[in-house]
Every structure is written in structure tokens, then in C-alpha cells.
Amino acid sequence: MSPSAPPEPEPDPADPAGVPSTGAASTGAASTGAASTGAASIGAASIGAPEADPRRVPGYAAADLERWAPEPDKRPGRTAFQRDRARVLHSAALRRLAGKTQVVPAAPAADPGPAGRAPAFDATPRTRLTHSLECAQVGRELGAALGCDPDLVEMACLAHDIGHPPFGHNGERVLNEIAEPCGGFEGNAQSLRLLARLEPKRFVPDRVTGELVSVGLNLTRAALDAATKYPWPRGGHPHGPRSPKFGVYEDDVPIFEWYRQGAPEGRTTFEAQVMDWSDDVAYSVHDVEDGLHAGHLNPASLLAEPERREVFAVAADRYAPGAEPDELAEALDRLLGQEWWPHGYDGSSVAQARLKDATSQLIGRFCLAAEGATRAAYGTGRFTRYHAELVVPRATRLECAVLKAVADRYVIQRADQELVRADQRVVIGELGEALIARAPDGLDPQFRALFDAAGDDRGRLRAIVDQIASLTDTSARGLHARLTG
């Protein structure tokens, strides 16, 4: 069952800017889910109660703070964005990111390191959850420095990877193939689906059947917009229709159109741009840090050929299209020339402290460059929603791109990791085949309900894909073994 758009809003006389209130009449929508999952007591009695005064967040209009289904605050005094942040922070979908690999997989205790060259210093590398927490810290501070509401930016950063399937981008590619008949799979579109439909938090009665349906976390309009990195459907990229990146599935378009009402087409909010850059900063820096900890990267390699040329080729191909080798070399050499750059790593306490200082210096360098360039372009003041664009100097973007390429070359492209990724693709592919053949058997109750309520094969396949995407790396292997063993 697809969500239906809210009725035409009435102007809100309490809004001094004359911004229409677009959520007040939407409480009966079949908004974002199929059949009830049994949580009839959740939020149903509160629908239609007045919200706290939405004008309490400086820099944001009343419409920015509306929810698809209005509801009262349990503890008056909190801002709408504090509630949004808390809802994402307490969500099961966020917790599941603890079981999803970031880049460096956890090494077995007896692992001597790559090719026996070095010990695996750190058996607890970052997961998608720890990356999201670190991204949120970076984004909160950068956003606050530029006048954004810090809770809103932190929420967007916490949610930015929440739709990631097991095995990350590797699993995403296989799921996209499985989901082709129902519109494909994209982690960012899945994030919106979780926030607005799948994560069980708020239910409202369907305006036609009266049956309770999920509206997910029921976040504010500005929160959903801030968490949207690609504000277009599949094939709708404003500059590249063939791009695989998109941010909304076809049956989630009504809620997308509701929170994007009045937004410039194809443009992301300022908060989403801060989230996106914070993500780039966090993972470029921390993936290199994890690679050093795991013994996969020897810093001396960055001074030698042909390793440098290989890094620059990866950067130009994947992270900085069109960049010339000379300017990429200059970017890397600027970093290598810093007094805090780690030119060696032996796993000792002193080396760990120096490495941690280097990561802190890099994060500060990248964020201060963006803050300074944005202020230079737009002046002082509070930058929110569509009032400005985040400006990141080209030199800074190239430095960040080179770090991404270093992690790619020395961690992602390791021969042993390609064997792991091949096995992961088999697991997801066979799991999809098994569930398609036997569903609703094998589905968790939440996804079984969506499967049973689907009106066609596309909807049933989407429910299966939702199930697989919700799994952690370990639970995907467990379900695969149970269904195919």
C-alpha cells in the first residue's frame, strides 16, 4: 500500500512568515506502510493533538518543523529537532549498523596481518555505527559553526547510512540486481524508507480502511530533507540520468513530495550538504587510520613509485574525476609535509597517540577550510535550509579524495578482500533466491506483514528486499545458512 499525499494545507495564522502548515490534516493518511504490525497502541490516541510552538528553533520556519502526523511532545521544552535526533539515536535500525562493516573487517585474534608483514594491531575497526557516530560529531560542530541547528545536522549524520544493507556497497550492488523488477535498491533511498515507513515508532489509521499503518519515526519535514543526499527518484539525477544514485523509491514518492514541497528541484539543503561533507571527512580520515591500525598500509609507500601513481589513478577514477596527476600529487604532498603526518606506525602507545592526533588535525583542516570558504562566500549569519551552499575549496576536496584513494588502494583492493567480497555476493544472491522462492516463510513478522499486504509482485519483492537490507553481516550469513543449508 503506497502512502498518499497530505491534503492541501491551510495557511497557519500563527506563522509570522505566512508559511503554510502542511502537516495538520495528514493524520489519516495511509502514509508509509502496509498492514499493521500489531503495535495498535503506539501513538494512535495522540493523533491530532497540538504540537509545541514550532517557532522555538531560530532560523527555521513553522513548516520546517511539521510532521506528517502531528503529535504532542511528551516533555514540553524540547525542540522538534531534539526529538528527531532522539528518535534516530534510539532506533533499532541505527543499532543494527554495529553489525555492518565499514571498510576494514574485524581480524581474527590469530591473524598475523597481511602476508605476515605486520601484526593486526587492532581487531576492532570501525563499523557503520561507529562511523555514523563520528560523522555526527563532525557534522554537529561544523553545522553549529555555520548557524545550522546542531541537533538537526547531527540527526542527519546519524541517519545517513541507516539504510545500508549487510556487506555495505558490495551487498548494495547485489540487492540492486535482485530488486530490479521493483525499482532497484539504493542505500540512500532505503534510508528514507526506514525513517518514513519501516522503523516502527508511530502508527496512524488509514483514511480509507481505518487500519493502523506505520509512518516510521514521523520526523519533521526539515529532518527528512536534511537526511536526503540525493533528492530525486531513480533515473532522475539532474546532471546524469544514467547515474545509479537516487534517494526515493516509487512507492515512497508521496512522503518525499510532502517534505520537498517548495524545495528547489534537485537541490539539497544546507544541512544535507554539511552532512555529506562530514561523511566524506570522517570516512576518508578514519579509513586510513583503520588501515594503519590493521597493518594494511605502510606510510612509506606514499613516498614511492609506482604506488603514488596507483593512488592518483584511483583518485581520478573514483573520487576526483577530471583531476590531473600533478594536482593530486600536490594534494598528497601538502598532507605529507605536515609536522603531524604519521610517517610510521608500530602500534605502540606513542604511535597510537600520534596517529590519533593526525586524524584530529585532518578533520580540523577539512572542516575549517569549508567553514572559512563558506563564510567568505556568504558572510556572517545563520545558514539554514536553502539559504546558502556549503563551499569546500577544490584543494581541500582533492586532499580528501587522495585519502579515500589511499584507503581504496591499500585496504579495499587487497586480493584477500576480493575473495571475501565474492563470498558476500554469493550469500546475498542465494539469500534473495531462497526468500523469493519461499516467502512469506523465512520473513520476520514485520516484513511478513508487508509481504502479505502487498497488492502485487512488485510490492512482495520490495518486502523481501526490505528484509534482506535489514540484516547485519552476521544475521545475513545465519539466515542464508538456515534457508540454504
- pLDDT of 240 reads 83
- 415 or 363, which is more confident: 363
CA distance 195 to 66: 15
| Residue 82: all three cell numbers together | 531534539
pLDDT of residue 146 exceeding 60: yes
69-73, 196-200, 311-315: which has the minimum mean pLDDT? 69-73
CA distance 131 to 287: 9
| Residue 399: all three cell numbers together | 586532499
pLDDT of residue 407 exceeding 70: yes
Cα distances (angstroms) measured from residue 73 to each of 44, 83, 84, 414:
14, 8, 11, 50
Could you give the 3-state DSSP secondary structure of residue 300? helix
- pLDDT of 252 reads 96
Confidence of residue 27 (pLDDT cuts 50, 70, 90): very low
236-250 b/e (C-beta count within 10 Å ≥ 16 → b): bbeeeeeeeebbbbe
Cα distances (angstroms) measured from residue 4 to each of 45, 254, 279, 351:
21, 6, 32, 56
CA angle, 129 as apex, 405 and 133 as ends, to 5°? 85
111-115, 363-367, 435-439: which has the minimum mean pLDDT? 111-115
Sign of CA dihedral 423, 427, 430, 436: negative
pLDDT of residue 8 exceeding 70: no
**Residue 205, strand partner residues:** 212
Confidence of residue 483 (pLDDT cuts 50, 70, 90): very high
Contacts of 94-97 with CB under 8 Å at 24 or more apart are 94/129, 94/132, 94/158, 94/159, 94/162, 95/129, 96/470, 96/471, 96/472, 97/127, 97/128, 97/129, 97/132, 97/161, 97/162, 97/164
pLDDT tens for each residue of 298-333: 999 899 889 999 999 999 999 999 999 999 999 999
| Residue 127: all three cell numbers together | 563499523
- Kindly state the average pLDDT of the residues 39-54: 36
% of the chain at pLDDT higher than 70: 84
